[in-house]
Amino acid sequence: MAASGPPTSVVPFYDLSALHRQIRPELDAAYRDVLDGGQLILGPRLAQFEQAFARYCDVRECVGVANGLDALQLILEALGIGQGDDVLVPGCTFIATWLAVTRVGATPVPVDVHPLSYNMDPAKVRDAVTPRTRAIIAVHLYGQPADMTALRSLADEYGLRLIEDAAQAHGARWAGRRVGGGGHAAAFSFYPGKNLGALGDGGAVTTNDPELAESVRRLRNYGAQVKYQHERVGANSRLDELQAAFLDVKLPHLDRWNARRAEIAEQYSHALASLGLTLPWVAPEAEPVWHLYVVRHPERDRVRAALTSAGIETSVHYPRNPGDQVAYAHLPIDRTRLPVAGSLPHELLSLPMSPVMTDDQVTLVIRALQAVLR
Ligand SMILES: *Cc1c(COP(=O)(O)O)cnc(C)c1O
């Protein structure tokens, strides 16, 4: 024990090893099965997980890929989006949403986010559409589903593809329907810290369009359906058997884990009202999965420092918008069109949130915030 040192926080942001201890025998068995089975890439465990995840999302097709960024990129490639095309993206998101667009040769065009949901604001889409616009990527940020009703009708009106970045929203619902099937295709990430995480990198594309699924299936495997017959310039982006087996073990626990997150969110929202924090807002049509519980405060750094002193680990998602990163210094971004997104990086604070948090830990976070803000 001494070798790895004592825990530095009383309340860690997310104790992943505690999660895995809950299901250790199942994970051990999955590992042994794959080892004994001998097939490590594109085998039965992947097929089984793809089926199970498609059923979970209530979609026809699921294609396992190497990570969430690749999932987005392969969707864009399969849709034929590339050089000369614009893709609308939220001004505030993890940079992967933008990177996928850039990596296929298209241009990310930021749309401001809604002041309460922090998701792409449908009211701002019209102003961003030009004849070059081909698609919208709606991100379900922090596990809060984007307004799929409004975005779908805008996409239909302008003849655009609607892609979901569901990397933070496994299991969330908008208007009663699971994310993953509300647009032309959706990208999921199984990065370990996501609501459904592998023991390494992983991702998936879901869609109700079998042809699109088939294109992604080829693109993830060197552009070939039949070995050594390459029809397109593909990638090597497969979800391996070991990760698929671990994910298959974890999927049946996802709803229980998401329910625990919702319980914690409810405790936070109840106890933290009227402390001067802006709390997360849930749209009437939304059933979020609380990937993160993000509050806002004008003196975020002071609040955060007080929590750190109290042994509470917090995070910031995200300290800088993609459009303000050095990587995107070459893009001509009109920041006057992004007032909400521009104000968020200085004020957002992510509180500890995970299915393994105890009630005592939730209470510690609440008490620490009450102490600093009262
Ligand atoms: C995590 C994440 C991704 C990228 O997923 P990776 O598996 O890490 O490549 C994309 N978009 C959003 C919103 C994410 O949170």
Nearest CA to ligand 1 atom 2: 167
Statement: residue 4 has pLDDT above 70: no
Indicate if ligand 1 lies below 6 Å from the C-beta of 257.
no
Written as six digits, the tokens of 53 are 């995840």
What's the Cα-to-Cα distance from 112 to each of 64, 162, 338, 374, rounded to whole Å? 31, 17, 5, 33
Helix, strand, or coil here: 90?
A: strand
Among 68, 81, 72, 75, smallest CA distance to 107 is for 81
Q: What is the mean pLDDT of residues 20-32?
A: 98
Averaged pLDDT of the chain: 96
Helix, strand, or coil here: 186?
A: strand
Indicate if ligand 1 lies below 6 Å from the C-beta of 69.
yes
Given this model, what pLDDT does residue 3 score? 47
What's the Cα-to-Cα distance from 11 to each of 60, 147, 272, 356, 360, rounded to whole Å? 40, 33, 17, 11, 9
Indicate if ligand 1 lies below 6 Å from the C-beta of 165.
yes
Among 222, 201, 250, smallest CA distance to 66 is for 201
196 alpha carbon to ligand 1 midpoint, in Å? Answer: 12
Confidence label for 6 from pLDDT (cuts 50, 70 and 90): very low
Given this model, what pLDDT does residue 8 score? 61
Indicate if ligand 1 lies below 6 Å from the C-beta of 167.
yes
Amino acid at 52: A
Indicate if ligand 1 lies below 6 Å from the C-beta of 203.
yes
In the chain, the percentage of residues whose pLDDT exceeds 90 is: 96
Other CB atoms within a 10 A radius of the CB of residue 73 amount to 24
Cβ proximity of 286 and 320 under 8 Å: no
State in words which class domain 18-251 has. alpha beta
Statement: residue 248 has pLDDT above 70: yes
Confidence label for 2 from pLDDT (cuts 50, 70 and 90): very low
User: For 291, what's the count of Cα atoms within 13 Å in the CB-facing half-sphere?
Assistant: 25
Indicate if ligand 1 lies below 6 Å from the C-beta of 168.
yes
Atom of ligand 1 nearest to the CA of 96: 10
Residues 250-291 pLDDT 10s: 999 999 999 999 999 999 999 999 999 999 999 999 999 999
Residues 201-232 pLDDT 10s: 999 999 999 999 999 999 999 999 889 999 99
71 alpha carbon to ligand 1 midpoint, in Å? Answer: 9
Q: What is the mean pLDDT of residues 91-114?
A: 98
Other CB atoms within a 10 A radius of the CB of residue 332 amount to 5
* Domain assignments of the chain as residue spans, ordered by start: 18-251, 253-373
Indicate if ligand 1 lies below 6 Å from the C-beta of 344.
no
Atom of ligand 1 nearest to the CA of 140: 13
Whole-number Å distance between alpha carbons of 182 and 168: 15
Atom of ligand 1 nearest to the CA of 191: 7
Indicate if ligand 1 lies below 6 Å from the C-beta of 68.
yes
State in words which class domain 253-373 has. alpha beta
Given this model, what pLDDT does residue 9 score? 77
Atom of ligand 1 nearest to the CA of 70: 9
Q: What is the mean pLDDT of residues 296-301?
A: 98
Helices 96-103 and 68-78: crossing angle in degrees, nearest 10, is: 40
Mutate to test the pocket of ligand 1, among 65, 69, 95 (most ligand atoms within 8 A of CB): 69
Cβ proximity of 267 and 364 under 8 Å: no
Among 288, 351, 258, smallest CA distance to 116 is for 288
Residues 38-96 pLDDT 10s: 899 999 999 999 999 999 999 999 999 999 999 999 999 999 999 999 999 999 999 99
Indicate if ligand 1 lies below 6 Å from the C-beta of 139.
yes
Whole-number Å distance between alpha carbons of 51 and 182: 18
Indicate if ligand 1 lies below 6 Å from the C-beta of 144.
no
Q: What is the DSSP letter of 336?
A: G
Q: What is the DSSP letter of 259?
A: H
Q: What is the mean pLDDT of residues 117-130?
A: 98
Given this model, what pLDDT does residue 38 score? 87
Indicate if ligand 1 lies below 6 Å from the C-beta of 189.
yes
Indicate if ligand 1 lies below 6 Å from the C-beta of 239.
no
Given this model, what pLDDT does residue 1 score? 40
